[in-house]
Amino acid sequence: MFDLSYGRVSITSTEMAIVDENSEWLGVPRLLLMENAGAAVARAVANWLGATVGVEVVVVCGVGNNGGDGMAAARHLASMGAKTTVILVGSIDKVRTREAVLNLNAVRSMKESIKFYNVVDVDQLLELKPIIDRSEVVIDAVFGTGVKGKIKEPWRTAIQLINSCKGFKLAVDIPSGLNPDTGEVEDIAVRADMTVTFHRVKKGMLISPEICGEVVIAPIGIPPEAEIIMGPGDARQTLISVSRQSGEVVLLEDLSNEAKDFMNLLGASVKMSGNGQVVYIGKRSREQNVSGRKIVGFDLDIGREGVSIITFKEAAEKYKIDITGDLHQKISKLSRISSEIEHPIYVVGDNVDLLIGASRWKMSWIDRPLNELGLNILIATILALLARGADTFEAASAAGYLAGVASSSGYPTVLNELRRLMER
């Protein structure tokens, strides 16, 4: 597996959400990833048991995509001859993602090979305790990476019943109740004998390995490019992260009306002078009184937080940036160079753009090169997101995606895409 994590072996829940969305954008839909995840869980059960025919397996599912993974696993286990039971904890109408609904409908239609129960309260769940207790394998597909804070009923009782059974306990992606990023258990968590985690191990699992049991890392077909590219996942997660308060952008060099309108839509007010959270210096002289602010401009030796936009010729001369070679070679070279550049640099090119710095890097080759509108949207997005408190690298990554949309499809299309991404 490619190491696209700049030396880290784990991934956060936010990074995983980015990868999922970028994967779909690149042509590998979430439904296929869910199918592969379910198959990986079923294979792990089969490998542990040695044989699945006639073995009683209970899959306890929540209403989110982790539950969808569990239901996909249940289908595969039923096809392997296991006596499979699915317990959906929560109202059926709360299962809303397309992928989870499709797997739910499939499980409910398999009336001969899968026993299906839907419980919405503790009493209904306790009636199924004998089924859970006598099963040889119990699969936890309740929450996955989506859990935060205290766990409500009946899901809390579901976790207690999983923990109290004597069967082999397998967690899907991450034990339910374990914070995927901090490794904390704020309330209660499944204590698994095995965890089958997808794509890469989740950060919190390294902090609390005793809860996870044996960890199996299962590739599920996510393209390596999904972690490299500046895509819609990057843009969506950055928009989620920004402050709800507006910010002020000062333009020392004017931008197009579309760019200024775009900044307003992103929640930033634009001024041509005065003070602001972010200053756009453009291509003007570097001798500007911009001390203490975030700066965005062209070919700048930025000694503070900000973004410099340069060409590949300049990148090669100043920073020895080289993107030739195959993917393995690019990963090695760019990961090393990124650790040597303190602040992000956005490199615009004819065939590919590169964002590099602060020990991270991303690329975008879709809809390149950027035209004038694309470049204006790139600058506008970086400025507006920085003004609203976004991480500098993440602001530039989101901008790289939106700039490509604008360049290839025009201003109305990028407006619609921004509105889509801003929907919570």
Cα–Cα distance measured from residue 309 to residue 379, given in angstroms and rounded to the nearest whole number: 9
pLDDT surpassing 80 at residue 301: no
Whether the predicted model's global pTM rises above the 0.85 cut = yes
* Same domain, residue pair 142 and 234: no
Per DSSP, what are the bridge partners of residue 197?
Answer: 217
- Contact partners, residue 328, CB within 8 Å, separation at least 6: 2
CATH number assigned to the domain comprising residue 77: 3.40.50.10260
* Same domain, residue pair 197 and 280: no
**pLDDT (0 to 100) of residue 146:** 76
136 neighbors 55 (Cβ within 8 angstroms): yes
| pLDDT, average across residues 147-174 | 95
**pLDDT (0 to 100) of residue 396:** 97
- Contact partners, residue 63, CB within 8 Å, separation at least 6: 88, 89, 90, 91, 94, 95, 96, 100
Position 70 in a domain: yes
* Same domain, residue pair 185 and 303: no
pLDDT surpassing 90 at residue 350: yes
364, two tokens: 């975008």
Give start and end residues of each alpha helix (H) in 365-410: 372-387, 392-409
Cα–Cα distance measured from residue 89 to residue 112, given in angstroms and rounded to the nearest whole number: 21
pLDDT surpassing 60 at residue 8: no
Q: How many structural domains does the chain have?
A: 2
Identify the helix (H) or strand (E) that includes residue 48: helix 30-49
* Same domain, residue pair 105 and 214: yes
* Same domain, residue pair 214 and 240: no
Cα–Cα distance measured from residue 208 to residue 199, given in angstroms and rounded to the nearest whole number: 19
Position 5 in a domain: no
Position 118 in a domain: yes
pLDDT surpassing 50 at residue 7: no
**214-218 and 194-198 beta bridge pairing:** parallel
Q: Report the phi/psi class of residue 299: left, alpha or beta, with left for phi > 0 and alpha for psi in -120 to 50.
A: left
CATH number assigned to the domain comprising residue 243: 3.40.1190.20
Contacts of range 312-320, beta carbons closer than 8 Å, 24 or more positions apart? 312/347, 312/348, 312/349, 312/354, 314/347, 315/345, 315/347, 315/354, 319/345, 319/356
Out of 99-108, 182-191, 272-281, 403-412, least confident range: 272-281
- Contact partners, residue 181, CB within 8 Å, separation at least 6: 12, 13, 14, 202, 203, 204
* Same domain, residue pair 104 and 248: no
The DSSP letter of residue 151 is: P
Give start and end residues of each alpha helix (H) in 165-290: 203-207, 209-212, 225-228, 232-241, 257-265
* Same domain, residue pair 211 and 332: no
Out of 225, 244, 261, pick the residue that ends a domain. 225
More confident residue, 70 or 295: 70
**Tokens 């340069």 found at:** 310
Short-list 342, 250, 238, 328, CA closest to 294: 250
Out of 177, 206, 225, pick the residue that ends a domain. 225
Task: Return mean pLDDT, the chain.
Answer: 93
Q: b/e map of 10-47 (b: 16 or more CB within 10 Å)?
A: bbbbbbbbbbbbbbbbeebebbbbbbbbbbbbbbbbbe
Short-list 94, 80, 8, 88, CA closest to 42: 80
Position 1 in a domain: no
Q: What does the pLDDT look like over 189-204, one tens digit per residue? A: 999 999 999 999 999 9
**pLDDT (0 to 100) of residue 190:** 97
Complete edge-to-edge strand list for the sheet that includes strand 83-89: 114-119, 83-89, 56-61, 137-141, 168-172, 194-198, 214-218
Q: What percent of the chain has pLDDT over 90?
A: 85
Number of C-beta neighbours around residue 353 at 10 A? 27
Out of 165, 193, 225, pick the residue that ends a domain. 225
Q: What does the pLDDT look like over 398-412, one tens digit per residue? A: 999 999 999 999 999
Position 39 in a domain: yes
**268-271 and 214-218 beta bridge pairing:** unpaired
* Same domain, residue pair 219 and 235: no
Instruction: Calculate the dihedral angle through the C-alpha atoms of 105, 111, 113, 114, rounding to the nearest 10 degrees.
Output: 60
Q: Which domain holds residue 180?
A: 10-225
- Decide: helix, strand or coil at residue 268: strand
194, two tokens: 């095995």
pLDDT surpassing 90 at residue 295: no
Q: pLDDT tier at 292 (50, 70, 90 boundaries)?
A: low
